[in-house]
Structure 1
Amino acid sequence: MAITKSHPGINVSVTSQGKLLPEYDNDEEETSPQTITKYIEAQSGAEFAIQIELQKPFPVHSVKFRLYLDGRSVCSRIVSEAQYAKAKSRVKRTIGSVTSIVAEGRCMIQKFCFSDLSIDDSHDQPVGDRLIDDLKTMGEITLKAYYIDGLKDVLSKPSGSESSKKKILDAGVIPEKALKGRALSHQAGLSAPVNMPYSASGHHTDFKYVDPNKQPFAVVTFKYRSKEALRSLLVIPRSPSPVPLEDRDTSTLTLDESRELLRPKSERDEVTRGIKEEVVQQKSNADKLGTIKRAAEDDDEISFVSSKRRQPRTTFNKHGIETIDLT
């Protein structure tokens, strides 16, 4: 769980398929007692949710949690002081979907999910300022916590809305040059909508922020990437080199591996040496071809000079004076 140093009683995590996603430290991110950033692995199409847990001693005020996906405010949850009083040792909240009121008596629910980024490497698409700004927070789940008080229920009349669809950013096709080498792989999406009866009481909670500047007292960020992207960032280790057959447990070997192990080691070493030599030779050939190609590109005209140079003709006149013909 991600926990800020200044508020150890508030734990935040991301779940997917009913399990907590492993978290990895982000050593390059600047942190403070009020903020923390972790990396998590995103699997294409997998649904996810944000789990919040408040433990005793509870905060001194009610808390509003606002969720941002890829930089856009999506929804919020409130944990009140009255709920602290009812809890024995902890209060849990889960945010995993958005709700759109289609009409009175009916609503539509969609769960959060990881979606693949569509990246175009043709270099033909223009890169706008809006896209550059969107990419700054792409691949991030951020939860901000605010102290609030003066809570009271206010009667409100629900109205038809599809605004939750617009809250999720759809980046569309992204030119590869816009990424500028950043290891982005996914964006937040929504699952297929499910129609459910709308049973809200017609009330919403009114409140005021304790901080006059409406600043959060804690911020937790999860940067989600594919496993390949996490490896390229050295957040998780790369795949280890294969263990030699003779060092492995024989019960784990396949039939082909067992047969290979029975071959004399000298023969196996010879095969391995042959493969290595072939790879080295291929690399050498490629290097030579690259050198010839660069030389041809650098010279507009290639001249060939004979290795045997013509010797100058020498004669002597009647006085014995030597004459050299340089023509």
Structure 2
Amino acid sequence: MAVHHDYPGLTVEILVDGKPLEEYKNTDEEEKPNTITRYVECRSGAEFAITTKFRAPFTPMDALLRACLDEMKVNGKFVKKHGMLEGTHCQSKITWREGGSWLASNFVFSDLSIDIEVEDNSSEASEENLETLSSVGTITLVLTQVLSYRTISKPRGKKVTLREVGRVSEESVKGDVRSHTIRLTPNTIIEARKGTRSKLAAEPFVTFQFKYHSNTALKSLDIVPRSPSPSPTPQSELVKKEDTTEPIPEIHPNGVSLAAAPRPKTTGVTPAPPQPKSVSPTFDEHNGLIDEEIIDLIKHYRGHDNGLAGHSRKRLLVLLKHYENKDTERVPIKQEPAPSETGVRIKREPNDGGIVLEKGKKRKTEIIALDE
């Protein structure tokens, strides 16, 4: 379970089939203040839930738990001060109103659509899919204190749309460890919901991030120990035989048997040298760079740095190596144009999710959370 040393008694977990996923910490990744980052192993087709518990000695308060899937706000759960230390607060679906009915869809892990038959840079749509891909792979829960609130009997309940990653070529994602995304299950009809309009503190008091990957990807990142290589079959020790001679009879023309010449000494077969072991690629040429300089180099190839913030140094180096290799294969080198304010290929609109609505110009401090 993910915990923060400043808030003992507060725990957050990702549950699949009612059991918490095992969490891993990347020791090479520096955590941000008031942020806890853990890695979890995901399985395609598995529905999951984000669970939060408050126990003593945590100091009770009115709080809002805002969930984000792949950088998209999808759910807001209001927890009252009275009763905070009891029970488990679960977020496993989005809810919205459509016509006169309320509907819900659960969170589920899903495979990315990676196709060896899709040619790299075959279309603009493929490039847009790569842009969207840079934002997937993270489940975030932001906890913020609620300063005041009031109940709403008939909230609007707008439907949330998650990021959709289309088909991408195998060549274009080479060096990228992301293998899964998050989608929603088919709709089900639920009972009507009420909402709470809350005024929030200026900043959240703690944030939990869960980066989900396949087992293979976690091993490639050295988050999960790799399977040990099988031990080579021990070669039998060569036994050095004593030099012995064996008489070989030979009849001389005069009828006298000559002493046999000694047979040559038998020598052992020299064992074949062991095969060299494969070695993971190194990035010695980039050891002197700081993370910001690596991001600048990636930005040079991509034309922008969207989705790069928060990645570990190892992942940034893998991504930089991918673009360097890709760049050397192109003749002549084609520089990707930087996106302008009027020429962005992906339209990213603010999404209140129907569950979280915010008001204000600079600081959005008032939101609506639906009861789950």
> Structure 1 length normalisation: TM-score?
0.65
CA distance in 2, matches of 1:50, 1:157: 23
Q: Aligned runs of 1:1-327 on 2, under 5 Å?
A: 1-59=1-59, 61-84=61-84, 87=85, 90-104=86-100, 106-121=101-116, 122-126=119-123, 131=129, 133-156=131-154, 161=158, 163-164=159-160, 166=161, 168-176=162-170, 178-179=172-173, 181-196=175-190, 198-200=191-193, 203-211=194-202, 215-242=203-230
CA distance in 2, matches of 1:67, 1:109: 16
183 and 58 in structure 1: CA distance in 2 versus 1, 3 angstrom threshold: same
SS state of the match for residue 82, structure 2? helix
Over aligned residues, Cα RMSD in angstroms?
A: 3.0
181 and 60 in structure 1: CA distance in 2 versus 1, 3 angstrom threshold: same
210 and 79 in structure 1: CA distance in 2 versus 1, 3 angstrom threshold: same
Aligned-pair CA distance for 1:74: 0.6
CA distance in 1, matches of 2:187, 2:104: 6
Deviation per residue, 1:142-179 (Å, 9 max, x gap): 111111121221333657x5x23x1x111111344554
State the partner residue of 1:303.
none
Unaligned runs of 5+ in 1: 247-264, 267-275, 281-327
CA distance in 2, matches of 1:55, 1:78: 17
Aligned 8 A contact 2:111 2:180 in 1: yes
CA distance in 1, matches of 2:211, 2:128: 21
CA distance in 2, matches of 1:157, 1:44: 33
Aligned-pair CA distance for 1:77: 0.5
157 and 47 in structure 1: CA distance in 2 versus 1, 3 angstrom threshold: closer
CA distance in 1, matches of 2:226, 2:124: 32
Aligned-pair CA distance for 1:112: 0.7
CA distance in 1, matches of 2:37, 2:175: 21
4 and 58 in structure 1: CA distance in 2 versus 1, 3 angstrom threshold: closer
Which amino acid counterpart does residue 173 of structure 1 have in structure 2? R
State the partner residue of 2:292.
none
Aligned 8 A contact 1:5 1:33 in 2: no
Q: Which has the higher strand share?
A: 1
Aligned-pair CA distance for 1:183: 0.4
Which amino acid counterpart does residue 240 of structure 1 have in structure 2? P
CA distance in 2, matches of 1:131, 1:20: 31
Unaligned runs of 5+ in 2: 237-270, 276-372
Aligned-pair CA distance for 1:69: 0.5
Looking at CA atoms only, which structure, 1 or 2, has the larger radius of gyration? 1
Aligned-pair CA distance for 1:126: 4.6
> Structure 2 length normalisation: TM-score?
0.57
Aligned 8 A contact 1:61 1:149 in 2: no
Aligned 8 A contact 1:7 1:34 in 2: no
Percent identity between the two aligned chains: 31
182 and 8 in structure 1: CA distance in 2 versus 1, 3 angstrom threshold: farther
Aligned 8 A contact 1:71 1:134 in 2: no
Aligned-pair CA distance for 1:119: 2.0
